[in-house]
Amino acid sequence: MSGPGLINVYPPLAPVAALRPRGRAFPFGEPGLRLTHLGRGAVWLALRALGLGPGARVAMPAYHCGSEVEAARLAGLEIDFYRVDSELRVDEDDLARAAAGTDAVYAISHFGFPIPAAPAGAPVIEDAAHGLFSTAGGAPLGSRGDAAVFCPRKSLGVPDGGALLVPDARARARVDAWLEGRPRARGLARSTASLAAARAALSRIGPLRATATRLIAGTSRTDAAARAGTLTETVIGEWDLEVADMETAAAPPARLTAALAPRSNPDLIRARRRANYARLLDEFGERCPEPYRELPDGVCPLYLPVRAADRPAATAKLIEHGVRALEVWPVPHPLLDRERFSELEPARRELLALPVHQSLEPRHLDAVVRAAKTALTG
């Protein structure tokens, strides 16, 4: 791809989806699905749906985004963290220990890969925010728990959007009672414009691509931070929220999100992401945590996780070459005892996400490979 451009780790706006009929593919064809403004709002509603409130205990993984932990904190839950090793594998013995003394288990799919099976007994919330359209053993991620959380915003190029799936009718009724009369999210013009600019930045038309790239560079706080090597400090800090913040996050999403998300094409998205992941895996597989060096059948990967010894420098080089990478969960929620779970510190310092999304063509993948070779190898 010649000339300036910008390849984001998340997909751009996909207006063509508006031309497709509403799909019945999981989870959008399920009667228990409810869309929310943000993913953490879906977590908040999942806890409500399962009747988990003050005094209840939940087992959560030590490796996490943090927004799910904040939702549990604000719901008044006590949290018992279970161990995840340095290669991001769940310690099943420690999971069993934590699950035995809690009222629910929270399990997270990393990067769209299968969620580990939780011990029988306590209700399970499956966090498939990274795993929309992934399957494991023929079953979709998010189909085996008592509640499941998704994040269409990360996978589909919509301006906002989390999603909650609650199969049980009585639990779903609790969610619907809370949602009744709640206004939709508003004020998303900036987010929509940013997604449209990201689409233009992938264009084959040089002047359009260059104009969109300049526009993004001039307005993006995160891109400026990536160039300065201060991305972690810039994007982290959504702790100490209020209940009102969670209620806003749990409200219905923008109308554009509600219209486009169910019209996506799961088969096409999965096929393209898998092909793009395989291409980057051939180049950078040795830099991936061990469980992600192969692509199991059915996995719809969100991005390719790689290690960078000097992540700030690598991120800056990538953005210089037109590739916007993502630091993967560099800071856990403050409730976590980082010393107790110190085996995760290298991953928090080093992991970068490279884009593999469905809007990328071979020419874009070529550009990602060139940029990543420069950034990761000096």
Domain that holds residue 368: 189-236+265-377
CA 315, 223, 322, 88 dihedral sign is: positive
Are 163 and 304 part of one and the same domain?
A: no
CA pair distance 146, 42, nearest whole angstrom = 14
Provide the domain count of the chain.
Answer: 2
Last residue of a domain, one of 139, 157, 179: 179
What CATH number does the domain containing 156 carry?
3.40.640.10
pLDDT at 42: 97
Residue for token digits 């059948």?
A: 297
Are 125 and 25 part of one and the same domain?
A: yes
Q: Quote the mean pLDDT of the chain.
A: 92
Residue 225 pLDDT more than 80?
Answer: no
- Indicate whether 257 belongs to any domain: no
Q: Say how many Å lie between the first and final Cα of the chain, rounded.
A: 21
- Indicate whether 241 belongs to any domain: no
pLDDT at 79: 97
Residue 3 pLDDT more than 70?
Answer: no
Are 92 and 201 part of one and the same domain?
A: no
What CATH number does the domain containing 319 carry?
3.90.1150.10
Are 94 and 50 part of one and the same domain?
A: yes
Residue 19 pLDDT more than 60?
Answer: yes
Are 171 and 229 part of one and the same domain?
A: no
Instruction: Quote the pTM value.
Output: 0.94
CA pair distance 280, 302, nearest whole angstrom = 13
Are 172 and 231 part of one and the same domain?
A: no
Are 34 and 133 part of one and the same domain?
A: yes
- Indicate whether 148 belongs to any domain: yes
67-91 pLDDT per residue, tens: 999 999 999 999 999 999 999 999 9
108-137 pLDDT per residue, tens: 999 999 988 888 888 999 999 999 999 999
- Indicate whether 5 belongs to any domain: no
Residue 260 pLDDT more than 70?
Answer: yes
- Indicate whether 4 belongs to any domain: no
Are 320 and 363 part of one and the same domain?
A: yes
Average pLDDT over residues 209-225: 81
Are 293 and 350 part of one and the same domain?
A: yes
Which has the minimum average pLDDT: 74-83, 154-163, 225-234?
A: 225-234
Most confident among 21-30, 127-136, 171-180 (mean pLDDT)? 127-136
Strands 104-108 vs 124-127: parallel, antiparallel or unpaired: parallel
Residue 220 pLDDT more than 60?
Answer: yes
pLDDT at 247: 94
- Indicate whether 304 belongs to any domain: yes
pLDDT at 234: 63
pLDDT at 4: 54
Residue 1 pLDDT more than 50?
Answer: no
- Indicate whether 258 belongs to any domain: no
Are 108 and 20 part of one and the same domain?
A: yes
323-360 pLDDT per residue, tens: 999 999 999 999 999 999 999 999 999 999 999 999 99
- Indicate whether 301 belongs to any domain: yes
Last residue of a domain, one of 150, 179, 208: 179
Are 348 and 317 part of one and the same domain?
A: yes
Are 201 and 317 part of one and the same domain?
A: yes
291-326 pLDDT per residue, tens: 999 999 999 999 999 999 999 999 999 999 999 999
Higher-scoring residue by pLDDT: 354, 216: 354
